[in-house]
Amino acid sequence: MITIGLTGWSDHETIAPDQKRKLPDYASHFPVVELDTSFYAIPSEKNVQRWGALTPEEFQFVPKAYGPMTTHARRPDETRSLDELFTLYLKAFRPMVESNKVKAFLFQFPPLFSCVRENVDYLRKVRELMGDLPIAIEFRHKSWFAEEFKEGTLQFLSDMHFINVVVDQPQTPDNSVPFVPVVTNTDLAFMRLHGRNYAGWLGDDAIDWRTFRTLYDYPEEELAFLKEAVLDLAKDAKDVTVIFNNNSGGHAAPNAKALQKMLGLEFRGLAPQQLNLFE
């Protein structure tokens, strides 16, 4: 099975223009979404239940781990221990897990999280605290896939039953990893597409990198390359999920639709699309 989705459901005007129906409208087009808000704060259990209720039974989420859980800098008011954060996070998402609406939890680590013993041990801690839940690991430091560590990294991810996030992004000097289309968990392969805006990924303080970074429109030839990579992953994994994160200019949804067409996919179990009486 191959599924395609986007990061978030609020910033895609071409498929979800109605402010009151953002998530239901999104779920009428795609069967999976990356839940990005959980990176900034642990959501309430009530909100998690509401998101699940607004989507069809087969619809699934990819919740992003709360920032401090992936060693991102804590806010000054965040004083809870790591164990407590994991406990609260898992409690919040319990309804989604129990209703089988979690595709995987995304742990995206920062550029400073390099391939050293301390961080390998931290990944073991993540597995311990998350139990046997599906965990997708995205690195941002190239050392994990450097020649001397690549084989060990992939074997370690496999041994820990982690899902290797296959990342497509520009190859900048300090915050990028190479495209490594390798399956480390046969239940799920995960591809995350950030676009190829090299200038946006340089982290120049003179530009608004948060909005400029993912400003990119994949041309047909690059989508064709990604299509072949998806099909190769599907040979080794029961399920392949592709998430488009190139949201800044509104390109994610049309690019995802184009890849869906290239792959000849028809998603089932979607929400009904809202009718427009004046069309």
| Residue 171 CB coordination number (10 Å) | 12
Decide if 217 is inside a domain: yes
Where residue 122 falls (left for φ over 0; alpha for ψ -120 to 50; beta otherwise) is: alpha
Task: State the SS3 of the chain.
Answer: CEEEEEECCCCCCCCCCCCCCHHHHHCCCCCEEEECHHHCCCCCHHHHHHHHHCCCCCCEEEEECCHHHHCCCCCCCCCCCHHHHHHHHHHHHHHHHHCCCECCEEEECCCCCCCCHHHHHHHHHHHHHHCCCCEEEECCCHHHHCCCCHHHHHHHHHHCCEEEEEEECCCCCCCCCCCCCCCCCCCCEEEEECCCCHHHHCCCCCCCHHHHCCCCCCCHHHHHHHHHHHHHHHCCCCCEEEEECCCCCCCHHHHHHHHHHHHCCCCCCCCCCCCCCCC
Closest alpha carbon to 66 in 92, 39, 106: 39
Domain annotation covers residue 161? yes
Q: What is the pLDDT of residues 136-185, one digit of tens each?
A: 999 999 999 999 999 999 999 999 999 999 999 998 887 789 999 999 99
Range of the domain at 160: 2-263
Q: How high is the mean pLDDT of the chain?
A: 91
Within-domain flag for 278: no
pLDDT digits (tens, 9 = 90+) for 22-70: 899 999 999 999 999 999 999 999 999 999 999 999 999 999 999 999 9
pLDDT in tens, 115-134: 999 999 999 999 999 999 99
Contact 111, 140 (CB under 8 A): yes
The pLDDT-based confidence of 271 (bands split at 50, 70, 90) is confident
**Has residue 277 got a pLDDT over 50?**
no
Alpha carbons 5 and 60: distance in angstroms, whole number: 10
Number of domains in the chain: 1
- Whether residue 276 lies inside any domain: the answer is no
Amino acid at 103: K
Q: Which residues are paired to 231 by β-bridges? A: none
- Residue 274: pLDDT above 70? no
* Beta bridge pairs of residue 191: 166, 242
Instruction: Assess if residue 269 is contained within a domain.
Output: no
The more confidently predicted of residues 277 and 104 is 104
CATH code of residue 175: 3.20.20.410
* pTM of the model as a whole: 0.92
